[in-house]
A and B are shown apart, each in its own frame.
Chain A
């Protein structure tokens, strides 16, 4: 095995560990932190089913963002949709053809949408980047890391698309490498600079995920303004630290 392959093997184990452990730590932290008061942004659903629907419209359609600004919605939604398409297309590098899921991801729809969805991603990211530069309000609130985040993901998408449309990489060897990671039997990574760049940046993205604003992904599910049922008069809502204050009460 080449030194570079060893490096990438270690890098991916490290990145995956940080991603999984870090994200789990965050999610557990959010779940354990009490929400002492009912603060849904109203009008809000009065049932749990309603809350599930509300969260669905937020996560799948970016409902609130749609109300806020159409341009950010178009670019942001395009970008996130293409992320999902890219995810499904990439499953072919991870799943074995024997898997029960294989027919679901190995079909023209997933392959086509995943491949051409890349353009949506580039357009979406470019649009978001443009807003950061040209809209004075958004420029004011942007830190260097906000621009870099977009550049990072843009570069991942661009290198991926170059491999997909221009300079194919050794897919068979790549899949051997990926499956090797899963079976703890490391294999060589194809000697391809585009692929190596693509993978290094993906690892970087996984590493910064739990320590950056990418936490908005789990965050939205824990957002009390969106996930609480509007029923404070019907059901008394009280958390542990608040209940302790009641010891003095008549």
Chain B
């Protein structure tokens, strides 16, 4: 099935492998082209003066981002992070240890921008203090290894100084883009989203057509005319969801779940063809400007449609940008209803409705499954739901358990703040990086296997478009089937009791409002 060796699942999901140098040095992302780079403000190919540009950009960014400046200075090389990255655990390549990945950048920073590095460079022994001259080889290594980081922040949980490798890898990608060495997958998507309003490049007619088809599907299924409104002015809620929700499985089942929740809550809502994308790949490439440009579309759509609230669909990194950055990038949102947080997560919305007793469930509809829940990295470690720290763990689980009878968590050191990335986040969800994606999924696959064997878990629910796409693709390498991944709102949608459903339906034998 694969032209590389798929790692074997061992019993111990936390077992740490020995270091094996260079195992992933051949993993080469596709390089981006002029047509995608230019609209993003980047050169189309490697610039002649790349060396000067890298050195000066490094200085510039460390002056613009306190995180970068402090993190480059403060690492004590204690090794706490060395066994925390799913890519290291799955590949054994030491350059996938967070500190070693950071060092690829830190060494150059030390060489050119620190007293110690410059001094030892003059003495001819820069390596003595961990400094390294910038060569083309260094750039190549950056391109390879900064595209084996999903910016999941698991290392940042364990660092005694709080160093976050995601910040370093974002800076590295921004610098690479500045010299014309960008990643095609990310840049192509950002260009499309900036031009057409969504990552898939769907024009409005195609979108409208898709939504109509979904409306028909729900009506055939339930007998209820649940609407999927697009560009409806004056609606209360603007739903911004990852464009994968319009097509991919199991994403689309989640989208139908949101629609049923809104329908049952009796609140008017709409999607926007201008901002039909929750995802924001500007974050992955560390570009404040590109991330801001994409975010502004959401602000503009909210103003144009005159909505009162903004709700985001299931997507991990999108929720990070939405929850943590949107107010900064595109705020203030003083034109929206001040009684609700801006933005809200669809899980928060559904949870509130459940608390208010507005939704009724027939949990038995999901009885053929025993579920577990994959905490998405950006939701777990870079954002929140609700008004209490940790709400991002509690609320999705509460929503699942309102709709399902059988739920079991995976081992505690693989969920919550310790959750393992799916292996496809951070702009790596592309075919040429399949090997690192499969290997990076090893820790999650191992944890999943332990609950399938010990607790009869049949399905894993997720609230992230990337996680869902990644798992459906890579879990089969570990002996699972692709339909074992489900959307949280798919579970909600399947169990929700629509109060205006035709009367001849069987009375549900079990209803639960809590």
Contact = CB atoms under 8 A, between A and B. Distances in A.
Interface of A: 26, 29-30, 33-39, 41-46, 58, 62, 64-65, 67-69, 72, 76, 128, 131-132, 135-138, 140-146, 208, 211-213, 215-216, 219-220, 222-226, 230, 232-238, 241-242, 245, 249-250
A42 B388 CA distance: 11
Contacts of A144: 127-129
A34 B342 contact: no
B70 A236 contact: no
B373 to A, nearest CB: 16
Contacts of B324: 37-39, 232
A42 to B, nearest CB: 6
Nearest to B84: A68
Contacts of A140: 19, 94, 97, 100
B114 interface: yes
Interface stretch (B59-67, B245-253, B359-367, B441-449): B59-67
Nearest to A65: B160
A140 B75 CA distance: 15
**Residue from A68, A76, A208, A216 whose CB has the most chain B CB atoms within 10 Å:** A68
Interface string B159-176: 111111001000000000
Contact of A42 (B16, B66, B158, B380): B380
Contact of B78 (A34, A38, A65, A232): A65
A236 B127 contact: no
Contacts of B114: 211
A249 B296 contact: yes
A236 B116 CA distance: 38
**Residue from B74, B79, B129, B130 whose CB has the most chain A CB atoms within 10 Å:** B79
Contacts of A213: 73-77
A137 B21 CA distance: 11
A163 B456 CA distance: 65
Given A36-B328, A39-B382, A41-B381, A141 B162 contact: no
Given A43-B417, A222-B70, A216 B80 contact: no
B331 to A, nearest CB: 5
Nearest to A136: B19
14 contacts: A41-B153, A41-B162, A43-B392, A44-B389, A65-B160, A72-B78, A76-B78, A131-B79, A137-B82, A141-B82, A225-B162, A236-B327, A237-B327, A242-B288
B204 interface: no
A64 B63 contact: no
B19 A216 contact: no
B99 interface: yes
A68 B73 contact: no
Interface in B23-76: 62-67, 69-71, 73-76
Contacts of A41: 153, 156-157, 162, 164, 381-382, 417
A237 B70 contact: no
Nearest to B292: A245
Interface in B380-429: 380-384, 387-390, 392-393, 417-418
Given A39-B67, A69-B83, A219-B161, 13 more contacts: A38-B324, A39-B164, A41-B164, A43-B417, A68-B81, A141-B94, A141-B99, A143-B128, A208-B116, A223-B70, A230-B384, A232-B325, A236-B328
B335 to A, nearest CB: 12
B162 A58 contact: yes
A225 B67 contact: yes
B371 to A, nearest CB: 23
Contact of B73 (A26, A58, A136, A141): A26
A241 B103 CA distance: 28
B281 interface: no
B501 interface: no
The 9 closest A-B pairs by CB, nearest first: A219-B74, A68-B158, A43-B389, A138-B79, A68-B80, A223-B162, A137-B82, A226-B162, A225-B162
A232 B381 contact: no
A76 B79 contact: no
Contacts of B296: 249
A146 B341 CA distance: 47
Contacts of A72: 78-80
Contact of B389 (A33, A42, A212): A42
B79 A64 contact: no
Nearest to A137: B82
A142 B99 CA distance: 10
B4 interface: no
B328 A46 contact: no
Contacts of A34: 64-66
B203 interface: no
A35 B161 contact: no
A222 B66 contact: yes
Contacts of B71: 219, 223
B109 interface: no
Contacts of A42: 380-384, 389, 392, 417
B128 A145 contact: yes
Contacts of B128: 143-145
A182 B155 CA distance: 44
Contacts of B82: 135, 137-138, 141
**Residue from A68, A138, A141, A144 whose CB has the most chain B CB atoms within 10 Å:** A141
Given A65-B78, A137-B79, A219-B74, A242 B328 contact: yes
Contacts of B393: 43
Interface string B297-310: 00010000000000
Contacts of B343: 233
Contact of B97 (A65, A141, A220): A141
Contact of B325 (A35, A38, A245, A249): A38
Contacts of A220: 74, 160-162
